[in-house]
Amino acid sequence: MVQDHKKWLRPALAGGAAGLVNGFFGGGGGMVLVPLLVLWCGLDQRKAFATSVAVILPLCVLSAAIYLFRGGVDFTAALPYLAGGLLGGLLGGKLFKRLNMVWLRRLFALLLLYGGVRALLF
């Protein structure tokens, strides 16, 4: 019984943290989830990135639905970002397996650093 509890507690807490960040900020749950999947759940980095995408999709849909029902979504403004995001996601998915894990981790760290600096300064 205790072993079953341990198997789902950390993943559930990691998912909860990602959902909370997504709900607060309208995104960014993957930035929380990837390190937690590696450190708490024992996934290797590549699987953590891929698993994060699979987890974040429904969280983003849920967050978007909540914002939509509260009147906070401007579809006209979102369309160009959606088009670019779809192309970027397709390209990123195709390049994912080819990237060296060291460089992928460095790029992710730079993205986190950039986001943190922007959040502090602006």
Give the C-alpha separation, 83 to 81, whole Å. Answer: 5
| Largest pairwise CA distance in the chain | 51
Where do the structural domains in the chain lie, given as residue ranges? 2-73
Span 15-25, average pLDDT: 84
Q: Are 69 and 54 in contact (CB under 8 A)?
A: no
Q: In terms of Cα–Cα distance, which of 97, 81, 87 is closest to 45?
A: 97
Packing angle, helices 29-39 and 2-25, rounded to 10: 160
Task: Residue 34: count other Cβ atoms within 10 Å of its Cβ.
Answer: 25
The answer, as to whether pTM is greater than 0.75, is no
> pLDDT tens digits for 50-90?
899 898 888 888 888 888 899 888 888 989 998 999 999 89
pLDDT given for residue 83 in this prediction: 93
Q: Say how far apart CA 15 and CA 107 lie, in whole Å.
A: 23
pLDDT band at 47 (very low <50, low <70, confident <90, very high): very high
* Contact between residue 21 and residue 29 where contact means Cβ atoms under 8 Å apart: yes
Q: Can you give the pLDDT at residue 2?
A: 53
